[in-house]
Amino acid sequence: MNMFNKISVLIVLLASFTANAGIVIIGSPDLTGPISAKEVKKVYLGKKVNFNGGKLTAIEINESEAIKSDFHKQVTNKSIVQLNSFWAKQLFTGKAKPLKTTASQAEMKAKVATGSAMIGYVDESLVDDQVVVLLKL
């Protein structure tokens, strides 16, 4: 392996380790208490909509964001292809309504911060005092 290839491999490996600090489930400021990974899975699969006695709204991110794939692998145990198939079936049969979507993590955080009883997921580095961390993955 020549020196250029070794350096290229090293750069790719380092980039993959620093790509994201960790995924956190964020909630609107009106939410209290932690949420379990099992509850998050149910919400993101359209099976659970109540949390702390109220209706909980989950926000989904655009497929072009890599965090979506990472999140669903960890939480719903589904690839993007499996997730799209699942939601196509849910919508076709009328068992669930589609989740609200955003184009970016920053937009997701802004929607959650200004909404009521909303959850989303972002890279931990984006968390500030506008949202509440409900779960760290």
The predicted-structure confidence for 55-90, as pLDDT tens digits, reads as follows 889 999 988 788 999 999 999 999 999 999 999 999
> What are the structural domains of the chain?
21-136 (3.40.190.10)
What strands, in cross-sheet order, belong to the sheet with 100-102?
A: 100-102, 57-61, 118-123, 23-27, 132-136
Residue 137 in contact with residue 73, Cβ under 8 Å? no
pLDDT tops 80 at residue 19: no
pLDDT tops 80 at residue 102: yes
pLDDT tops 90 at residue 49: no
Q: Shortest CA distance to 58 belongs to which of 121, 3, 10?
A: 121
Q: Which two tokens stand for residue 37?
A: 């990974």
pTM, to two decimals: 0.81
Residue 86 in contact with residue 41, Cβ under 8 Å? no
* % of the chain surpassing 90 pLDDT: 64
Which residues, 6 or more positions from 75, have their beta carbon under 8 angstroms from its beta carbon?
Answer: 37, 40, 41, 44, 137
Tell me, what's the pLDDT at 1?
Answer: 58
